[in-house]
Structure 1
Amino acid sequence: MKSKPDPVRLDAWDVRILSEVQSDGRISKSELAKRVHLSASACSERLRILQAAGIIEGFYARLSPALTGGVIFVMVEVVLDRHRLENQRHFETAIQQIPEILDCWAIGGRIDYLMRVSSPSMAAYQDFMEGLLQAGLGIDQYYSLVVTKPVKSNSPIPLSALRQR
């Protein structure tokens, strides 16, 4: 059984750094140090520690779906045909290799997983899902929810609770 990592103790400086890099991942180290009121070397060291601890998982560019060729997003609720640990592991391992599945969360309740899938069209999405069903991943049922427009997405994690520790 995989143990949960010990939480890293964050102080006010760390929270300020995380807040800044969450809102601007391209910020230079010198500008970051200025904004959080630390020396460049102290700020760089804290940033390195936050990355090494896995708190900062990476830096990404957010692309515009409309300007990159038109993409639709579908939220897919998945129910597996068997609810044994090896079936879950098989499914989870397989979907890691499928680039169209942007996100996947294990869910407690009436469904087993919720996935966010990208596709160039509804016809391509249907072909994609038929391929998933034939791939032997143990999918018993799936329900598609087509995203008609984004209302709020890619929001930063609220760090206010960290400041109270």
Structure 2
Amino acid sequence: MRSKLNTVRLDACDLRILAELQADGRISKSELAKRVYLSASACSERLRALEASGAIEGYYARLSPSLTGSVISVMVEVVLDRHRLEDQRHFETAIQGISEILDCWAIGGRVDYLMRVAAPSMAAYQALMEGLLQASLGIDQYYSLVVTKSVKSNSPIPLSASRGR
């Protein structure tokens, strides 16, 4: 399915709005309008258009990992045993409801997917992976990369006026 975002042209003002929202998603509309040099109504109109176009996918709070106590993060490389479209769809649909899988990307190269997983312990992570293998999702191999520390995360997407659509 083609994204609405592909048909939207982002101008310099839209890019300033997006940059401000990435820096502070809780900014009030009136403060946002001031920072991007627009009237409150013009800024609200642009904001609604950006949301409707899919340029803004949502708003959320980034929680401290220490909130839940001891949590391990694991990057998991997944190789499927078959590469038919229905096999990929089956895998992708099945993992949607698994809360421990925070992110999953289809990638090119030696593996098919890269997942970011959070678990309370290594034993819990291993149980999750064993459950995925038993669920007949077509996983041929998986490789676990345990995150030992976060060096940089949740960085804003770089925006520039020259990259407008």
TM-score calculated relative to the size of structure 2: 0.95
Count of aligned pairs: 162
Secondary structure of the structure 1 residue equivalent to 2:7: coil
Which has the higher mean CA deviation after the structures are superposed, 39-48 or 62-71? 62-71
Letter in 2 for 1:83: H
Cross-structure match for 1:99 = 99
Cross-structure match for 1:156 = 156
Secondary structure of the structure 1 residue equivalent to 2:142: strand
Letter in 2 for 1:42: A
CA RMSD in angstroms comes to: 1.0
Pairing of 1:43-82 with structure 2 (within 5 A): 43-82=43-82
* CA distance in 2: counterparts of 1:7 and 1:142, whole angstroms: 37
Secondary structure of the structure 1 residue equivalent to 2:64: coil
* CA distance in 2: counterparts of 1:3 and 1:155, whole angstroms: 26
Letter in 2 for 1:16: R
The alpha-carbon distance between structure 1 residues 143 and 27, as it changes in their structure 2 partners (threshold 3 A), is: same
Letter in 1 for 2:156: P
Are residues 1:114 and 2:114 paired? yes
Cross-structure match for 1:40 = 40
Deviation at 1:4, TM superposition (A): 5.0
* CA distance in 2: counterparts of 1:35 and 1:3, whole angstroms: 33
Q: Could you list the runs of 5+ residues in structure 2 that have no partner in the other structure?
A: none
Pairing of 1:85-96 with structure 2 (within 5 A): 85-96=85-96
Letter in 1 for 2:66: A
Cross-structure match for 1:128 = 128
**1:133-157, Cα deviation, whole Å (9 max, x unpaired):** 0011110100000000000110000
**1:56-106, Cα deviation, whole Å (9 max, x unpaired):** 000111111123222111000000011111100100111111111100011
* CA distance in 2: counterparts of 1:47 and 1:27, whole angstroms: 12
* CA distance in 2: counterparts of 1:58 and 1:18, whole angstroms: 12
Letter in 1 for 2:140: D
* CA distance in 1: counterparts of 2:7 and 2:109, whole angstroms: 27
* CA distance in 2: counterparts of 1:107 and 1:39, whole angstroms: 42
* CA distance in 1: counterparts of 2:96 and 2:18, whole angstroms: 27
The alpha-carbon distance between structure 1 residues 3 and 46, as it changes in their structure 2 partners (threshold 3 A), is: closer
Q: Could you list the runs of 5+ residues in structure 1 that have no partner in the other structure?
A: none
